[in-house]
Amino acid sequence: MRDDDAGRADIQLFRLLDVFENRAAALDLAVIPAALQPQSAAALRQRRTRWPGLNFHQHGYAHVNHEREGRKCEFGPARGLARQQADIRMGKDRLAALLGEVDPIFTPPWNRCTQETVSALAREGFRVLSREAKAAPLSLHDLYHLPVSVDWRRRRGDVRESPSDTAAAMAEQVRGGAARVGLMLHHQNLDSEDLDALDALLNLVQAAPNADLGSMMEFVEDQNVSLIGA
């Protein structure tokens, strides 16, 4: 489970963290480097000391749109390799200074990026790119692609899906033989109903004998071990 936009809407973020921490469940936070403030970072570091299931990785740099036309994108075709790499490096350095240990995962804002982004990430030592499962394919070279495949209560126009709609989408993937389901959250959009539903989902997954909730890097490491063993 990946929650995007950490660094914004701290009150909602920490309400979500309470739900996961109470279940001792893994959660990966995609953190906006330019938005994260030192006080919030200190609170996140403190929480991680008592809850090892909390993980951090980089979510763009400032989560701003640089495209004049088309869909929003921070790491899009309007910006070349040098500019993208500079932002990625600044973000990486800022998160390391504020949070300490940060996983080598990059989630681009709006789940969109370009081939230049892949090159910049490789130069900066990243191992994983996380986007939507339906994102346009890229030549990833040595990067591992770990996508999200379900958007919690996604919007269709002005209407948000219900938690039961999201559950049905997850169940459909499992019935279809998916070995993993990546769930994307946006804490700033979650209300009390969402938090209760997420708590019930965590309870269900943790009680299921044929399911497991792991961190993103745990899955990547497991895949690497499987490939080596093969």
* Residue-wise pLDDT tens digits, 188-215: 999 999 999 999 999 999 999 988 999 9
User: Considering the chain, what is the average pLDDT of its residues?
Assistant: 93
- pLDDT in the model for residue 179: 83
Q: Is the dihedral of CA 124, 128, 129, 130 positive or negative?
A: negative
- pLDDT in the model for residue 224: 64
> Under DSSP, is residue 84 helix (H, G, I), strand (E, B) or coil?
helix
Mean pLDDT of 222-229: 54
- pLDDT in the model for residue 79: 96
Q: Are 2 and 148 in contact (CB under 8 A)?
A: yes
**Tens digits of residue pLDDT in 108-132:** 999 999 999 999 999 999 999 999 9
- pLDDT in the model for residue 156: 73
**What pTM, to 2 d.p., does this model score?**
0.94
> Under DSSP, is residue 121 helix (H, G, I), strand (E, B) or coil?
helix
In order of 42, 56, 85, 93, the CA distances from 100 in angstroms are: 10, 10, 21, 10
pLDDT band at 226 (very low <50, low <70, confident <90, very high): very low
The answer on pLDDT for 230 being more than 70 is no
**Tens digits of residue pLDDT in 38-92:** 999 999 999 999 999 999 999 999 999 999 999 999 999 999 999 999 999 999 9
Selected residue with higher pLDDT from 139 and 161: 139
d(CA 102, CA 214): 16
Q: Which long-range contacts (CB under 8 A, 24 or more apart) does 45-50 make?
A: 45/99, 45/100, 47/17, 47/21, 50/21
Please state the domain extents for the chain: 2-229
The answer on pLDDT for 223 being more than 80 is no
**Tens digits of residue pLDDT in 148-171:** 999 998 877 778 888 888 989 999
Answer yes or no: CATH 3.20.20.370 is held by domain 2-229: yes
- pLDDT in the model for residue 8: 97
- pLDDT in the model for residue 23: 97
Mean pLDDT of 17-40: 98
